[in-house]
Amino acid sequence: MATIMACILFFTLLFLDQGVKLYVETTMLPGESISVIASVFHITYVLNPGAAFGILAHQRWFFLLTAIAIIVAFFCFYPKLRREPPLLYYGCVSLAAGAVGNLIDRLRIGYVIDYFDFCVWPVFNVADVAIVAGVAGMIISILFGRKKKDA
């Protein structure tokens, strides 16, 4: 059952990310911004050549190799992950879905399409949210999860 839920989570995040990116890409021009809540939240079409906050801009090969390494590690450790606490398990699934979402953009157009703009934070996308939520879940699980009994 956990594997089915993991697949549902993975593909929901991936399709949501790619669907919104496709919508933004086909209905807006790069740099265009639509106000949803004035001075608070906009949909802004940004082509990001780097990572969060635009760091390491134009290091495409680094990001491609990093994403591939994350995905390969996920599949290599998947049998063990299925036995881990749910927060760690689903955190890894979320991280992998986000990595695949941004990897698709980098392979397809050489950039990541970002669109959520809160005006006080760099523009980001669903894949970025999945990555951050996944890593947060993993950290919380590791720090506050079940403790192994002393031998």
Residues near 135 by Cβ (< 8 Å), separated by ≥ 6?
91, 95
Quick check: 105 and 95 in contact, CB under 8 A?
A: no
Taking the C-alpha atoms of residue 126 and residue 116, their distance in angstroms, rounded to an integer, is 8
Catalytically active residues, by annotation: 114, 128
The SS3 call for residue 112 is strand
Neighbours of 3 (CB within 10 A): 11
